[in-house]
Copies of this chain bind each other. A is one copy, B any other.
Amino acid sequence: MAETGSARRITPVILSGGSGTRLWPLSRPDRPKQFIALAGEESLLRQTAGRVGDPALFAPAIVVAGQDQAVLIEQSLAGLAVPPALLILEPCPRNTAPAIALAALCSGEDDLLLVLPSDHVIADEAAFRAAIESALPCAAEDWLVTFGAAPERPETGYGYIRRGEPLDRGVFRADAFVEKPDRPTAEAWLAEGGYDWNAGIFLFRAAACLRALEEYAPDVLAAARGALAGQRRDGIRLHPDAAAFGSAPAQPIDVAVMERSRRVAVVPVAMGWSDVGSWDALYALGELDGRANAVSGDVVAADSRGCLIRSDGPEIVAVGVEDLIIVATADAVLVVPRGESQRVKEALAERRRDRT
């Protein structure tokens, strides 16, 4: 589709890394959560692509994914009105900075890149879009713009961004990126205001990103350049050179660039954002029945309250239980109290140790 008028369109860069097991047994190393219809009828990846699919504002996307995910990606995005322009397949996981470097190097210098994790939920898409539009002038002036999700609770599981001085309508200088706080700190920040959740969403000119990488993470940029010099193409699939890409340090873009650059802005936005990082996070998103149960699939919840009960296979019958997470697939069942779903990861790790 040709660009229309003088407005530059934004190229979404969708990051499909990760192989978490925090939503086990639904997510598995070979089927990370972006490929699962966790919230709604479509996979999180497809929802993400759909969210940036309006051709009036967005150019076709670049997807950066693990090389094992090519088929999953293409299946998950099949039939989209605007299919991705490029699928960059990482030979090994190196976190987000090398992935973004690849995408920026594959773009025109003037292209505006909107970097998006593929496995988050954004309930209020209009608010998200308005935030992007607020960010455009600063991004055009070579600010690295981040989006700060309005905190809804004193969450200790996310990083935060502290707002500095206002730069433009709805845009602030990002004063600091701060790591996951303890509970009293998170409560103080929530009361004080001026702190937003780091949602891992960024908008910048490709040239500004590359310049920042050159300055703050030159080894990341060099590895990405080498990986593209040795690339192999196959339709929209791009295979970077494995040895060169493997030499990149595994760094998140936040650490490699955002925390170091002084030209970083934040657009706070209340958009119903969640990283769906646990079953508890999914419960917080779910539609609840009259007994505060979030139920999906072939489930009978008799006289049960406050439960997340989900089946992607067998029938689940729960009788008289409260505040439990119960998840079943064809080959596995999880039962954990609500509020404790972060313990699943550790139990699975112990199990793996026991079995090896």
Contacts and interface: CB of A to CB of B under 8 A. Distances in A.
A348 B319 CA distance: 10
B334 A317 contact: yes
A351 interface: yes
Which of A326, A336, A340, A348 has most chain B Cβ within 10 Å? A336
Contacts of A165: none
B302 A320 contact: no
A343 interface: yes
B320 A340 contact: yes
Nearest to A347: B302
Given A314-B329, A329-B314, A330-B314, A302 B343 contact: yes
A331 interface: yes
A136 interface: no
A317 B344 contact: yes
B314 A347 contact: no
B314 A343 contact: no
Given A300-B347, A350-B302, A320 B336 contact: yes
B336 A318 contact: yes
Given A336-B321, A343-B319, A328 B328 contact: yes
Interface string A126-156: 0000000000000000000000000000000
A290 to B, nearest CB: 16
Interface in A332-349: 332-337, 340, 343-344, 346-348
Contacts of A350: 300, 302
B336 A319 contact: yes
A258 interface: no
A335 B324 CA distance: 10
Contacts of A330: 314
B314 A331 contact: yes
B336 A333 contact: no
A311 interface: yes
A330 to B, nearest CB: 7
A333 B321 contact: no
Given A302-B350, A350-B302, A332 B319 contact: no
Contacts of A320: 336-337, 340, 343
A316 interface: yes
A110 interface: no
A315 interface: yes
Which of A321, A332, A333 has most chain B Cβ within 10 Å? A333
9 contacts: A300-B347, A300-B351, A302-B350, A311-B333, A313-B331, A315-B331, A317-B335, A317-B351, A319-B334
- By Cβ-Cβ distance, the 6 closest A-B pairs, closest first, are A302-B347, A319-B336, A316-B333, A318-B335, A315-B332, A319-B347
Interface of A: 24-25, 300, 302-303, 311, 313-321, 324, 326, 328-337, 340, 343-344, 346-348, 350-351
Given A314-B332, A315-B331, A317-B347, 8 more contacts: A25-B317, A300-B347, A302-B346, A316-B333, A316-B335, A317-B334, A319-B347, A335-B335
